[in-house]
Amino acid sequence: MSATGETGYFDDFAASLLDRAPNSIPHWLQGSNSERFRIYRNNVLKSHIDALAAAYPVVARLVGSDFFEAMAREFYLSRPQSNRSLALFGAGLQDFIASFPPAAALPYLPGVASLERAWLEAYHAADAPPLNLQTLSNSADDVAALRLVRHPA
């Protein structure tokens, strides 16, 4: 099998995971593996929905679990994620909510999602020491040489 052929298999597999048709299966998995693939696809979807619910608990609580699960499913299926980490899954949810017609009656919801996303990114940001005021005051003689950098969180 060539490298191009292998890429085709991976692309078919990934596309079938995001296909809205319940019986979508890569052609090369037809037959005895069909049910296994459906189970796998369901588990992948459920994992992403659960990850969104964990990352956006206030949004989930405001709209209720049924609404949130339906919205999370649409978000997952409509926006392939570039981040492979489930801990940070959900970038852009606030924009999705703003354009999601069933959420139109809740104009504050994208803002709530933005706040939860900011918290999530700060929580997962790299560890770094905060600005030490003593060090800053000791450097007062050479203020022009000071260089302040934004804390990762």
From first to last of the 153 residues of the chain, give the pLDDT tens digit: 444 456 678 888 888 888 877 778 887 887 878 888 888 888 989 999 999 999 999 999 999 999 999 999 999 988 766 667 788 889 999 999 999 999 999 999 999 999 999 999 999 888 988 888 887 777 767 777 777 788 887
The sign one gets for the Cα dihedral 39, 70, 96, 57 is negative
Alpha-carbon distance 103 to 74, whole Å? 12
pTM strictly above 0.85: no
